[in-house]
Amino acid sequence: MVTRKQFEYQSLCLTRQTTIFENERSFILSTKMPATRIFTKRNLVRYFTGASVFYCVAHTVACHVGELVICSGPSMHPTIHDGDLVLAERLSINSGNIHRGDIVGCLSPHEPDQLLCKRIIAKESDPVNCELLPNMRVPRGHVFLQGDNYLASTDSRHFGPVPVGLLQIRLSLRIWPVSRFGWLSNHWFWEAEDVRRDVKNKTSTTRFYPRS
């Protein structure tokens, strides 16, 4: 026969065990990692929004400020070699702040999808002397372009002066290779010199390939 005190004691022990069990169960449940959904609608919206903003900013910078280009071709040797990585800017072209001696990227008059690398030899009203324009002056709104390796370059001596509107970029700084790191344009020298050349036509060109 169970006395009243024994019954109360057993009830108290059972209550304590139940409380401990519930506390342990709660602790176990609380330590489990909550289930997360990685590809939620909100995350996807944030991802595509960020990607769109980045693309718009990069595209705006490339179109109006500048970009990195890789040069290929022999017509600008020894100034520029194959594989040189060059920083090109558009601000000078867009503002019309171009000088003799600047190295520019120009759309080919015959193949508009190609970007040629040449140096500005003469600006409008400057005298030039070549087979195409013997003892003539550069027309208004045009520039006369020529490769530094003028024996292996197709330039204004063959297709004539080009409109300023075809100029796209100005090469300003060579980044790679590191051993040849430095500025490219030295228009101060060309502004002080009257450079005139009369050589035979060649067919080589230097072209740009935007870095991906």
Which residues are annotated as catalytic?
A: 75, 118
- Alpha carbons 85 and 68: distance in angstroms, whole number: 7
- Nearest partner of 114 among 210, 207, 212, judged by Cα: 207
Token digits of residue 101: 């001696």
Tell the burial category of 140 from Cβ atoms under 10 Å away from its Cβ (0-12, 13-18, 19+): exposed
Whether the Cβ atoms of residue 184 and residue 172 lie closer than 8 Å to each other: yes
